């Protein structure tokens, strides 16, 4: 089911932290890894999933890939979620 895949993607702590980080602005893989305190491999694996679901997109600058949120909905989902848990 397409919709549950979307929420499942946001339902993992590492992936959600990636999304929250990118909500602040674009970031490359190595900075994401350092910021989150996980290996670059782990981040890369999760970014692939997020990419496939069009939650994130990237642009290349030389050897570096800068990731960003793919569209507004992602940010909207996160923020409504944040409102929900304040209760």
Helix (H, G, I), strand (E, B) or coil at 58: strand
Residue among 45, 48, 54, 59 that touches a second copy (CB under 8 A): 54
Q: Where are the beta strands (DSSP E) in the chain?
A: 27-28, 56-61, 64-69
φ, ψ (nearest 5 deg) of residue 59: -135, 145
User: Around Cβ 38, how many Cβ atoms within 10 Å?
Assistant: 15
Q: Is 1 in the site for a second copy (CB under 8 A)?
A: yes
Question: Residues 19-58 vs DNA: string with x where CB under 7 A?
Answer: ---------xxx-------xxxxx-xxxxxx--------x
Q: Is 14 in the site for DNA (CB under 7 A)?
A: yes
Residue among 6, 28, 57, 65 that touches a second copy (CB under 8 A): 6
Residue with Cβ nearer a second copy (12 or 39): 12
């Amino acid at each position: 089911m397409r919709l549950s895949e979307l929420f499942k993607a946001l339902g993992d702590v590492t992936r959600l932290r990636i999304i929250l980080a990118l909500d602040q602005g674009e970031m490359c893989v190595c900075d994401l890894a350092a910021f989150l305190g996980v290996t670059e491999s782990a981040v890369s694996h999760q970014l692939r999933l997020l990419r496939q679901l069009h939650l994130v997109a990237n642009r290349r600058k030389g050897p570096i890939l800068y990731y960003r949120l793919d569209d507004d909905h992602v940010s909207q989902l996160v923020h409504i979620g944040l409102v929900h848990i304040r209760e």
